[in-house]
Structure 1
Amino acid sequence: MDPLSQVIGLLRPRELSWRMISVQAPWAIQFPAVDAVVFGQMIKGTCTLERGEVRLSLRPGDFMMMACPPEWVMRSGPEIEPIGMKALFADPTALQKCGPAAPAARFLAGHFLFAEPNADHIAGLLSPIVHVRASDVAAQRLGRLLSLLDDEATADRPGRSLALDRLLEVILVESLRHRATQVDGMRPGLLAGLADPRISRALRGLHIEPSRAWTVAHLAREAGMSRAGFAARFAEIVGMSPIGYLSAWRMSLAKAALVSSKRPMIEVAEIAGYGSVSAFSTAFSRATGVSPTVYSQTARD
């Protein structure tokens, strides 16, 4: 399994919520900061998305996704006082009182969460804003996926929950695939590493065999680079040292195993690349602040 698929498998997107919003110009909506992944697609009309200093123009068919965004605004024009999202949801007609002649806009807005314990991985995957233009093939694919999501969520068919979870995973994959081709200006992280031909070979190697006794020299050979050049390049692109990334990935696998299974502790230790329970327990406690046993019991309570 490739690194991106493995990470998304641990994240397990869930708890979907979304709605279609219809407005008439002039309009502006202020959305609160949220510890979730928000997404949306412009169906009709245009608007500007404002997040801090970032300004993004959205046109029909455009798709956007943001991870744990601070407060942000969508608006039809610059000099409009925004209405809060909660106030709009309490009165969906609040921005539809300007008469039939006013240009209308309609867009899908939603969010979803990630399963613990590895939700923090998303910070290293998503850029502040993933923007897919309507002219891009990915936007057309995302549009079809959102239609399927709507169809599945509004029906009461057997397997609905599983189907929704899988559709969310595919939507996330499509968004990240698109971003992985946009190397310029990409923040350090896994996506940036996968976009680099040489670093990606090392990443794939350690994801395929996380318990192997990797060294920087071994990983450099996977990448076809010198040890020093590889270590510097990896840290620049991924945002941490090769061994630091390997250790973090092993701990993520260990957390998932402790939460989702009842494997013997020695098996969990081996998954994390340790030959003994004591060595694993020491490393795990240092990384998380609690022992593997306590972590497992707390996560299941």
Structure 2
Amino acid sequence: MSQVIGLLRPRELTWRLIAVQEPWAIGFPAVDAVVFGQLIEGTCALERGEIRLMLQPGDFMMMACPPEWVLRSGPDVEPIGLKELLADPGALQGGDPATPAARFLAGHFLFADPNAASIASLLSPVVHVCAADVAAQRLGQLLRLLDDEATADRPGRSLALDRLLEVILVETLRHRAGQVDGMRPGLLAGLADPRISRALRRLHMEPSRAWTVAQLAREAGMSRAGFAARFTEIVSISPIGYLSAWRMSLAKAALVSTAREMIDVAELAGYGSVSAFSTAFRRATGLSPTAYRQMAGG
């Protein structure tokens, strides 16, 4: 998980505190970003397609690249668009101060290219952390630190914000990794499985090693066939397919963020020659490593 988050590098944080009075509903647009929020006061329903969650004070939620979604106080309220609300913050304030109010922190952040799509394999459609959970309390503390850092003008502000975003992401994924039941296939599900996680850890420790399914199965303490079937079922990709994808993620990051020689990048990705690496890289991305580096400005 630490390696994956290191490649994703959360950045470009945007957030605000929203206060409304009943009845209210807000429609949020689809975004290619990670959306997060914590309800501070009041209750509301989160609706995303067929998903409907009730949020209580202190609850935290996170979604990766969501389609259109809605927060509402009641079922019969026509939502106002977020853009319209931001243009007129008083639109949902109501005229009666005695009307029940809701306050929540809502924001989003992006991931650095070129591996931003990796988050799709980590997050469920909606990660919901209930207020009673210790993780929600920790996330609340982190959000307060985030607010304090973002509104101050101290040296190292940008670095501190990036690291706080990383810790928020770790806390959210760590919480989700403990919820094995009903978890959708992906890396988190693999890390939650005691046997598959052993193989994943070894694979991530030595990504350039010439792993075979049989060797990974021994790390997991399983038969070759049983391991291959379970890995594919839980992680949603074959063991060698996952290894190849992870190697390409490492290679793309190295091409974009470093000036390493091409043979070094090839060896990092588990290939003994530049030509073999170039062939595999082109097959995976549609570009040669050199063209990919140039396109990314490396």
Contact 1:25 1:98 in 2 (8 A): no
1:22 equivalenced with 2:48 (yes/no): no
Shift of 1:64: 0.2
- Identity percentage over the alignment? 83
- 1:94-133 superposed Cα distances (whole Å, 9 cap, x missing partner): 0002311110100000000000000010000000000000
Aligned residues: 298
Structure 1 unaligned regions, length at least 5:
none
Contact 1:14 1:112 in 2 (8 A): yes
Contact 2:22 2:94 in 1 (8 A): no
Matched residue, 1:290: 287
Separation (CA, whole Å) in 2 of partners of 1:33 and 1:260: 29
Deviating 4+ runs (over 2 angstroms): none
The TM-score with structure 2 as length reference comes to 0.99
Contact 1:41 1:63 in 2 (8 A): yes
Aligned-residue Cα RMSD (Å) equals: 0.6
Shift of 1:265: 0.4
Shift of 1:282: 0.4
Contact 1:18 1:110 in 2 (8 A): yes
Matched residue, 1:123: 120
Contact 2:186 2:235 in 1 (8 A): yes
Matched residue, 1:152: 149
Question: Following superposition of structure 1 onto structure 2, how do residues 5-154 of structure 1 map, counting pairs within 5 Å?
Answer: 5-154=2-151
- 1:193-242 superposed Cα distances (whole Å, 9 cap, x missing partner): 00000000000000000000100000000000000000000000000000
Separation (CA, whole Å) in 2 of partners of 1:206 and 1:48: 41
Matched residue, 1:280: 277
Contact 1:269 1:277 in 2 (8 A): yes
Contact 1:45 1:60 in 2 (8 A): yes
Whichever residue aligns with residue 119 of structure 2, its letter is I
- 1:56-78 superposed Cα distances (whole Å, 9 cap, x missing partner): 00010000000000000000000
Shift of 1:24: 0.2
Structure 2 unaligned regions, length at least 5:
none
- 1:168-212 superposed Cα distances (whole Å, 9 cap, x missing partner): 000000000000011111111100000000000000000000000
Separation (CA, whole Å) in 2 of partners of 1:160 and 1:65: 24
Separation (CA, whole Å) in 2 of partners of 1:24 and 1:142: 25
Separation (CA, whole Å) in 1 of partners of 2:203 and 2:95: 58
